[in-house]
Amino acid sequence: MTKYINMFLSGAPGILSQIREQLNASDWKGLKTSSHSLKTQLKYMGVSSAVDLAFTIEQQCGDLKDLDQLPALVGQLEEKTNLAIAELKEELTKL
Amino acid sequence: MSEFRKKIFIVDDDPVLAEMLKDHLTKMTNYEVSVYENGEECLEHINEKPGIIFLDFYLNSIKKDAMDGLEVLQEIKKVDPEADVVILSGQDKIEVAVKTMQYGAFDYIVKGESAFYRAEKVVFNIYRFKKMQGNASMYKNLSIWLAIGFGVLAILVLWLQLSGKISDMPGWS
């Protein structure tokens, strides 16, 4: 499990920055793909609240629907993912 | 009869999932498992003759200009039609699954809690299917050789009879 957590910790921050850049650039296709990618990783790490957010972002980008809500959703996704990252880092010290 | 292929390729740009699936399949099967981050890398190693390829539907979340799963699937089927391709996807949509099957995928697995178990089952199903194919091919070859053998024997007996060499043997008239 330690191996998988380490892989998530090294990969997730990069995807989060990518998501922020894509939001700023209104790159909806890229944002859809990145949130899909992060969603899968969050799912295997058991971060279900962030999984739902990533799924909503992916859907809205795919359907080009409610795009004005995306900045708030991405903000929440960053917050929840960063919290999960901090918790997982702490978990690693106990393993 | 084609040779039994002992390699599995996992092609996914999600490193955590790819590593988890690799560990699971290495533990549960006797196949040698390799991981590739994108379709281009997989195609570079296709001459290693993998028996089964687990291929992600989306392959361009990291490398933006990477080929997508369907493009890679078509390319694999072009260069190595015998490799069985299993599509991995986060999308639980029947139309996506049907589309991948139309392009020649063997099966479609939705990423989720039961994905690893499903992947393991697919590996065993493919193994059984290949074994049955091998047996059918072996029985077909055997029956051809038996038919040829009996034919040669019948001609030989007929020739011996006609030449009178076995006419004195008991049971022969």
Q: Is A40 on the interface with B (CB under 8 A)?
A: yes
Q: Please state the domain extents for chain A.
A: 2-94
Tell whether the model's pLDDT for residue B80 goes beyond 60: yes
Indicate the residue of B15, B61, B111 with minimum beta-carbon distance to A33: B61
Name which residue leads in pLDDT, A53 or B94. Answer: A53
Indicate the residue of B60, B64, B111 with minimum beta-carbon distance to A40: B111
CB contact under 8 A, B19 and A3: yes
Place of tokens 């699954």: B97
CB contact under 8 A, A40 and B19: no
Indicate the residue of B19, B20, B61 with minimum beta-carbon distance to A34: B61
User: What is the three-class DSSP state of B107?
Assistant: strand
Indicate the residue of B16, B64, B111 with minimum beta-carbon distance to A11: B16
Please give, rounded to a whole number of angstroms, the shortest distance from the CA of B139 to a CA of chain A: 46
- The residue among B96, A52, B29 whose CA lies nearest residue B21 is B29
- pLDDT tens-digit readout, B84-99: 999 998 777 788 888 8
Q: Is B109 on the interface with A (CB under 8 A)?
A: no
Please give, rounded to a whole number of angstroms, the shortest distance from the CA of B62 to a CA of chain A: 8
| Residue from B10, B12, B16 whose CB has the most chain A CBs within 10 Å, to mutate | B16
Q: What angle do CA B133, B97, B100 make, to 5 degrees?
A: 65
Indicate the residue of A8, A34, A36 with minimum beta-carbon distance to B16: A8
- pLDDT tens-digit readout, B151-172: 999 999 888 888 877 665 556 5
Residues 6+ away with beta carbon under 8 Å from A65? A59
CB contact under 8 A, B13 and A37: yes
Instruction: Assign A18 a pLDDT band (cuts: 50, 70, 90).
Output: very high
- The residue among B76, B52, B73 whose CA lies nearest residue B125 is B52
Please give, rounded to a whole number of angstroms, the shortest distance from the CA of B72 to a CA of chain A: 17
Tell whether the model's pLDDT for residue B23 goes beyond 90: yes
| SS3 labels along B25-88 | HHHHCCCEEEEECCHHHHHHCHHHCCCEEEEECCCCCCCCCCCCHHHHHHHHHHHCCCCEEEEE
* Across A16-44, average pLDDT: 91
Mean confidence (pLDDT) of chain A: 92
Give the pLDDT score at B2.
60
Give the pLDDT score at B64.
66
Give the pLDDT score at B65.
72
Give the pLDDT score at B121.
95
The burial class, CB within 10 Å (0-12 / 13-18 / 19+), for B104 is: middle
- Residue B140: DSSP 8-state: H
- Residue B108: DSSP 8-state: E
- Report the half-sphere exposure of B122 (CA within 13 A, side-chain side): 24
Tell whether the model's pLDDT for residue A65 goes beyond 70: yes
Against a cut of 0.90, is the pTM above it? no
B64 to chain A: closest CA residue? A30
Return d(Cα A82, Cα B3) in angstroms, integer. 49
User: What is the three-class DSSP state of B9?
Assistant: strand
Structure tokens belonging to residue B4: 């039994």
Task: Domain A2-94: give its CATH architecture.
Answer: Up-down Bundle (1.20)
